[in-house]
A = this chain, B = another copy of it.
Amino acid sequence: MSFTIKNVLLATDDGYTTSDVQVVDGKITAIASNLEVVGNAIDGKNKLLLPGFVNAHTHSSEMWQRGVISAYPLELWLAELYDFAPIDTEKVYLSALGTAVETLLSGGTSVVDHLILIPGEELETIACAVRAYKEVGIRAFVAPLIQDESLTAGIPSGESSQTHEPFFRSTKATLQLIEEAVRQFHRPEEGVNILVAPTGIQLCTDALFEGCIELSDRYNLCRHSHLLETKAQEKLAQQKYGCTAVTHLKRIGYLGDRTSLAHCVWLNDADIAILAETQSTVVHNPLSNLRLGSGIAPILKYRQAGVNVTFGCDGASSNDSQDLLEAIKIGSILHNVTDFDYRQWITPRQAVEMASLGGVKGLNSADQLGSITVGKQADLVMYDLTNLSLLPRTDPIGLLVLGRPTNVVNSAWVNGKQIIANGQVTTINVDKLREELFNLSEWVSKRQSQTVGQIERHYRTVMGLI
């Protein structure tokens, strides 16, 4: 866990410098020229060193359905997703491995997995994901996805007098489950964190949110939820609370500097001010928001209001990849069409800071992670600047963010442990993983989701599409 990178390119305030970086026992101990080599010497020539990024919102097991879910908005897409979701913990393990590998190969050293739980095998599901992340060595923030209302409750009722099946597990049992998961798996010092993660206002009662707040406070856990991903959810919040979802979440005390909120597409200016005031973090998932037609999150407004923003890939069936550099690129340039004044646009350097420091802020870890600073933990990624996709040489960070870098991660370290070397994952056998993913799946073209058949008409009516 000790090494010294020689002659690597580092970003400075207004340019680049070539320097050495020394890591001892997983922490950055020195950054200067001509440092004594402690531990292994790593050649940094023609390479760029950046802090590892955070894939700040994903659902790993969605990898089993990437590329196949129909062109639907979230509410129908979810119905198809759940109709075909894997119910096999071995698959959960494999897709967590796949998510970790793709995240690492695109500059991420941390992943927030809003993990879909297999009913009746909830703790086993969590155990499988945790095992996968520990094997790969990526820093894991496992956020077991919980709810206490049934899927159909997530669609506004409109004029109808629909009732919904009660959720199969009680609120109390769900909270006990999370507490047990914390006892079994929450080991921040080993790189595994459990988060409280009620899926969002669309499928959670206040009792569930309040139970999560209590657990978060008692065990010092971060909080993670979806927030106002779709216009339907905006309508639903008004129907449920008579106010915006953000106003309600503030009132019940869910927001704060350990709370990260995925999507945040349908917020108004007052909501944005509340996020700033509570120091909550927005996780922007641009590709998923486009794929599902959710809308363009007002990211430039968040930044102007002082809200911390970072990036996520979202689950691989609404994206449909786990390439963090792609999310960072699109999450930066997408907003140039929302504000005509180019002086507000996100620059590549700002994007890198959002993806690194911005990510760890929302995970209550900014004192330990997110920048190349003496005293911080060594979650680092080194990029090969001789790769064709980063040539000709111009601005390395510009090329990385605005280009489409391919095979550019030369090395990655988490807590000082090297888990990618020479572009290859060193901790697991990726060829074997590919073989298993191949063997456990088959090519399909069309599928029919039964649940979509049941709810589509109501959805179209409520959303004014009929």
Contact = CB atoms under 8 A, between A and B. Distances in A.
A140 B298 CA distance: 41
Contacts of A15: 445-446
A371 interface: no
Interface residues of A, number: 83
Given A67-B395, A290-B333, A394-B68, A445 B388 contact: no
A290 B399 contact: no
Residue among A9, A290, A296, A407 with max Cβ neighbours from chain B (10 Å): A290
Contact of A403 (B64, B67, B296): B67
A258 to B, nearest CB: 31
A168 interface: no
B441 A102 contact: no
Interface centre among A66, A320, A404 (most CB of B within 10 A): A404
A291 B65 CA distance: 30
A15 B320 CA distance: 20
B291 A66 contact: no
Interface in A422-451: 430, 433-434, 437-438, 440-446
A67 B402 contact: yes
A337 interface: yes
A289 B346 CA distance: 15
Given A71-B336, A407-B406, A434 B101 contact: no
Contacts of A113: none
A345 to B, nearest CB: 4
Interface in A312-357: 316, 319-321, 323, 326, 330, 333-334, 336-337, 339-342, 345-348
Contact of A292 (B72, B294, B336, B396): B336
B65 A333 contact: no
A167 interface: no
A146 interface: no
Given A68-B394, A394-B67, A438-B391, A333 B445 contact: no
A235 to B, nearest CB: 13
A290 B336 contact: yes
Contact of A320 (B14, B388, B402): B402
A392 B437 contact: yes
A40 interface: no
State how many copies of this chain the complex holds: 2
Nearest to A394: B68
B395 A445 contact: yes
Contacts of A337: 289-290, 293-296
Contacts of A19: none
B290 A404 contact: no
A442 B393 contact: yes
Contacts of A396: 67, 443
Given A71-B345, A395-B444, A445-B15, A388 B433 contact: yes
Nearest to A291: B333
Given A73-B342, A320-B403, A293 B441 contact: no
Contact of A333 (B102, B287, B340, B437): B287
Contact of A326 (B63, B400, B404, B438): B404
B330 A398 contact: no
Contacts of A98: 388, 391
A395 B443 contact: yes
A82 interface: no
Most chain B beta carbons < 10 A, residue from A98, A334, A443: A443
A16 B319 contact: no
Contact of A9 (B231, B290, B400, B443): B443
Contacts of A29: none
A292 B402 CA distance: 12
Nearest to A71: B345
A10 to B, nearest CB: 12
Contact of A16 (B290, B440, B443, B463): B443
Given A102-B388, A392-B441, 20 more contacts: A15-B446, A67-B348, A67-B395, A67-B396, A67-B400, A67-B403, A71-B346, A71-B347, A98-B388, A98-B391, A231-B340, A290-B337, A293-B339, A293-B340, A293-B342, A293-B345, A316-B403, A319-B403, A320-B403, A391-B441
